[in-house]
Structure 1
Amino acid sequence: MGTIDNTALEKLQYVTELTEHIKVKSSGYDQTTELMRVFPSFVWTVRDFTLELILKGKPITADQYLENALKLKPGHSAEILRHNQVRQGLRDFFAERRCFVFERPASTKNMRRMEELTDKDLDSDFVEAAKQFCSHIFSSAKPKTMRGGLGVTGRMLGSLAETYVEAIRSGQVPCLDSAVESLALIQNGRAVTEALEFYQREMERWVRLPTETQEALSKIHADAEKQAVSIFVSGSFNDQEHKYQLELMRSVQERYEEWCRRNVQESRRVCRGVLSRVFAGLDEGVVGGSYMRPGGHGTYRSHLEKATQLYRAAEGTGLLREEVLTDYLKEKSAVGENILAADRSLTEAQQRMEAEKMKREEAEQQQRLLEDYNRIQEQAIQDQQRSNQENLRQMEAKMEEQRQRAKEELERAVSAKLKVRWRRRWRRRWRRACSLR
């Protein structure tokens, strides 16, 4: 409040003690640079600001006012070291520093009824400063991140807090890298669970067994898998070797294979039910011997073809329709041969023609079955290829995003370091020039 003075700065004394109570890695690094990479931006707001933003007769910005307040004094006396200690800490740990100054919002009289005032009743300079401040916070200020620029959610922050407190309680110095590893175990395991639960819910929501084709089941699986991987990628954290993403893909594949097995089982059950219904009259005629007469083979073939057409026309039988029918027709092939042999109305030549016709139909049925099997196998191969491609695409997108964030984070820290070094070099040259005069 009022100005940035030494008293206000000394209230931030804890900043200078950070290196004593927290570390980023176990060893082999520049502590200040690493802390600068993970620290947020620093925003100092000064209310009821009473000074003019002028330095050495020239107007300055609020940011320049802050930087001037953080200027170090030359010398090595105890008083100067104490003066520089907090300032040096703020300069070392925060790559981005911003300042906003606010004049009094209104007159003393109006301040007594602040809750009743609108923007029109407030000082215009205060309103403008408030707009600039809000714009920076909402649009420019970055949320909390970990090393590598990874964003931290509220739940992740809670886990981090527990990790730090536990380390402090045990008398250890909290290490950010160790905290990240612990957080990754929790967060990535949770991300896998949530992704799998989503996948299962989507499959249960949209799949109606048996599906008419394998392609129909595959499409639902592909959509659910794509969204599940996206949920994992959004919720995962520091999955460097993609261990958890690969675990997710294996688990999704296992669940999909289980859905495929259930689809087959349900299709077989439904097909057998339809089969027993539409072929019931034919079976009764066979058992009753009604086809074992002159002309019986033609009647049998007519009934068989009609029942086969009704069976194929039935809806909801699924992808094993031809397999179940093939098994049934195999069982009835010997029956058909016996009826043909017993039909004395046919000449020997006609019987040979009918027998050849029956073999051709058996071959055609086998071809239909083979085509079904091929379609199912081809779809399984396509599913695996598509799954691998989608997994790789999202994995590469995540890696590129992480690389970009890490690059921006490092550039921010390096830029701040170079700026500090340039200022120090410039001050030394200026002092040297002044001493030569």
Structure 2
Amino acid sequence: MIPKSRDFHIMDHPVCLIENHDDGTIQVNEKALGILSRFSQKVVVVAIVGKYRTGKSYLMNKLAGRKNGFSLGSTVQSMTKGIWMWCVPHPRKPDCTLVLLDTEGLGDVEKGNSQNDSWIFALAVLLSSTLVFNSVGTIDQDAMNQLHYVTELTEKIKVKSSEQQADFEDDSSEFKRFFPSFVWCVRDFNLQLKLNGVNITEDEYLKNALKLKPGMSVAVRNYNLPRECILHYFHSHKCFVFDRPASKQDLQNLDNVQESQLEPAFLEQTNKFCEYIFEKSPVKTLSGGFAMTGRGLGNVAVSYVESIRSGSIPSMENAVIALAKIENSRAVQEALSKYEEMVSQHVGQFPTETHEEFLHLDKEVHEEALKLFMKLSFKDENQDFQFKLLEELAGKKAEYMKINEEASVKKCRALLQKLSADLEKGIKEGKFSVPGGYNMFTREKKALEVDYLRTKGKGVKSLEVLQEFLKEKESVESTILTADKTLAEKEKKLAEQKSQAEAAAREKEILEKANMDLQKNLENEQESYKMHLEMLEKKMSEEKEKMKEENEWLIKEKLKEQEEMLAGGFKKQCQMLEEEIKQLREENRKPTSLMGEILDAVLPGALGKLVKKVFL
């Protein structure tokens, strides 16, 4: 039984992902895209291909943990049109979604357009992390002939974009890096697993069936071609052979047959198949180890189908570029939301006591937002999206700085209103319009100022608001000074000069504080740019390590393939593989120091211009 995930919307039944229409056109189903768009989990994608009426849907229903769902098609008609999708919680990987893709039967005589079979097969390869090929009987030349679609993949799929690749260039040597693992299921198998009288495993049976014949005749080349493609394009070749599950009468009604009526050996092998898929099928990844989500799977499906509909060859690189733009835009928005969420938790505590305190808060949340962006983004060419994030965060910072300042102004004005209540009352009642009133007024004003400055929590605009308040009182102070008969003209002149000097001192203090805040702000921006560079260096280093690991894996795969070719005496293929291995090793031997590489990468772009301006 497959467990329910807490944040998983359970699909009760499959839906069509790729619609195959009678007029020969294909398109992505919007309902299926809507379902995939809700899945932010990583996906393990298992696609099954093969002739119609070979029991493909039964295996997929078993993987889904359900008896019914995908149509089993007990008649001579092919029941599944296009590619149908069923998303279920992964039974072994709680952080993953298992996406099952059931393709329409290949070789359906009712279809007028055989090209659609090739496109359905190519899409199954492009979208899956494990491809299951389902056939009946034995792995013989007839079964291989059913797999002629694999020989057409170089005409249906390109690794590089058209801008990167010359028309004559064959990039199929890179297929194994991108293609799914390969599982061959042989149904109704009635032979003994023996070779030259010795018992062999299912995998050895497949390995022997994929052996190439020496020679260059047309017949030998036709024999070898599908086998070469399987060996050269796919990895982790695995085989399962199944006995006939039930009597012919029960097979025609398999939807309603109880498991107790099925052959025990068939059930045992089905369970082994399911366990292998659950344990070994990898997460669908792009080059460089970027793990796909349901949302990303839907986006690349659209990219591939749009290419096919436009008459061009789907390019994996183009699909990745298109997906990167979508995901990087989303990464920017999620990082900005993270910044807003974290700062908004502090808005209720505004104003901050100092500008430096606000900048410290900004630095903390900026770092968290950037970490999230780095986690979600990939293939950000020229760091365009990272620069966009930097610009947007600068805008958010300015917005919240203004909110912080407005909170300070509001709080300071309210405080002054409270502290000046007696002073305002005295002015209104003429308390200071008496002999000696000026000294009385200045004493009360000074006491008010002292109380104001002693009060904590006024925020970053406390000096400006105080200066504004005192300026408002200058005309009243001047009137009181002029009317005070106890002061001589010389004393009045000195009092006026003293008041002006105090105001000028406050203006100077405000200016010095503003300059200090500006300097702190510039230092904060420099720290932000430095943080962007450091995180970019870390991300590029991690990506480089992933690529090295991927190259090491590919080298091992090509060495295995080379061993097979060498055993068969295929020197030309061995030499080609040797050259591919050599290039991969040279790529992995490149220096791992990245700072120069990073500067070369960022300086031509917008982010680089800022970095250059600040640091170089």
Compute the TM-score of the two structures, normalised by the length of structure 1: 0.78
Aligned to 2:12: none
Aligned to 1:190: 330
Distance 1:259 1:352, change over 3 A: same
Aligned to 1:264: 405
Q: Which amino acid aligns with 2:312?
A: Q
C-alpha separation in 2, matches of 1:191 and 1:347: 72
Say yes or no: does 1:176 pair with 2:316.
Answer: yes
Aligned to 2:291: 151
Say yes or no: does 1:224 pair with 2:365.
Answer: yes
Distance 1:5 1:305, change over 3 A: farther
Distance 1:94 1:207, change over 3 A: same
Say yes or no: does 1:24 pair with 2:169.
Answer: no
Aligned to 2:432: 291
C-alpha separation in 2, matches of 1:167 and 1:276: 69
Between the two structures, name the one with larger relative contact order (CA 8 Å, sep ≥ 6). 1
Q: Deviation string for 1:166-223 (max 9, x for gaps)?
A: 2212222222222333333333223323333343344334323742233443344334
**Higher share in helix:** 1
Distance 1:74 1:237, change over 3 A: same
Say yes or no: does 1:249 pair with 2:394.
Answer: no
Q: Which amino acid aligns with 1:181?
A: I
Output aligned runs, 1:11-410, within 5 Å.
11-25=146-160, 26=162, 27-28=165-166, 29-45=169-185, 55-56=195-196, 61-99=201-239, 113-114=258-259, 126=268, 130=271, 134=275, 137-138=277-278, 140-208=280-348, 210-213=350-353, 214-286=355-427, 288-293=429-434, 295-312=436-453, 317-330=458-471, 332=473, 365=506, 369=510, 372-373=513-514, 376-410=517-551
Q: Deviation string for 1:205-243 (max 9, x for gaps)?
A: 432374223344334433432333233333323212111
C-alpha separation in 1, matches of 2:463 and 2:261: 79
Q: Which amino acid aligns with 1:19?
A: T
C-alpha separation in 2, matches of 1:429 and 1:285: 108
Q: CA deviation at 1:407?
A: 2.4
Q: Which amino acid aligns with 1:23?
A: K
Q: Secondary structure at the match of 1:241?
A: helix
Distance 1:377 1:417, change over 3 A: same
Asked if 1 retains the 8 angstrom alpha-carbon contact of 2:213 and 2:568, the reply is: no
C-alpha separation in 2, matches of 1:149 and 1:429: 32
C-alpha separation in 2, matches of 1:310 and 1:235: 51
C-alpha separation in 1, matches of 2:206 and 2:537: 42
Q: Secondary structure at the match of 1:96?
A: strand
Q: Which amino acid aligns with 2:225?
A: Q
Q: Deviation string for 1:31-88 (max 9, x for gaps)?
A: 2212222112223355787666654566655443322221112234444333322211
Distance 1:98 1:390, change over 3 A: farther
Q: CA deviation at 1:400?
A: 2.1
Distance 1:383 1:63, change over 3 A: farther
Q: Which stretch shows the higher mean deviation, 190-199 or 247-256?
A: 190-199
C-alpha separation in 1, matches of 2:480 and 2:300: 81
C-alpha separation in 2, matches of 1:91 and 1:308: 86
C-alpha separation in 1, matches of 2:487 and 2:197: 123
Q: Secondary structure at the match of 1:171?
A: coil
Q: Is there any run of 5+ residues in structure 2 with no aligned partner, and where?
A: 1-135, 247-253, 572-616
Compute the TM-score of the two structures, normalised by the length of structure 2: 0.58
C-alpha separation in 1, matches of 2:361 and 2:192: 66
Q: Which stretch shows the higher mean deviation, 192-201 or 326-335?
A: 326-335
Asked if 1 retains the 8 angstrom alpha-carbon contact of 2:335 and 2:372, the reply is: yes
C-alpha separation in 2, matches of 1:245 and 1:429: 49
Q: Secondary structure at the match of 1:97?
A: strand
Q: Deviation string for 1:307-353 (max 9, x for gaps)?
A: 22443455653210122113333555686688678778799999999
C-alpha separation in 2, matches of 1:405 and 1:235: 16
Distance 1:281 1:5, change over 3 A: same
Q: Which amino acid aligns with 1:38?
A: F
C-alpha separation in 1, matches of 2:556 and 2:471: 80
Aligned to 1:433: none
Counting aligned pairs with the same residue, the percent is 37
**Higher share in strand:** 2
Asked if 1 retains the 8 angstrom alpha-carbon contact of 2:419 and 2:448, the reply is: yes
Asked if 1 retains the 8 angstrom alpha-carbon contact of 2:181 and 2:234, the reply is: yes
Asked if 1 retains the 8 angstrom alpha-carbon contact of 2:351 and 2:407, the reply is: no
C-alpha separation in 2, matches of 1:49 and 1:242: 55
Q: Is there any run of 5+ residues in structure 1 with no aligned partner, and where?
A: 431-437
In terms of Rg, which structure is larger? Answer: 1
Q: Which amino acid aligns with 1:158?
A: G
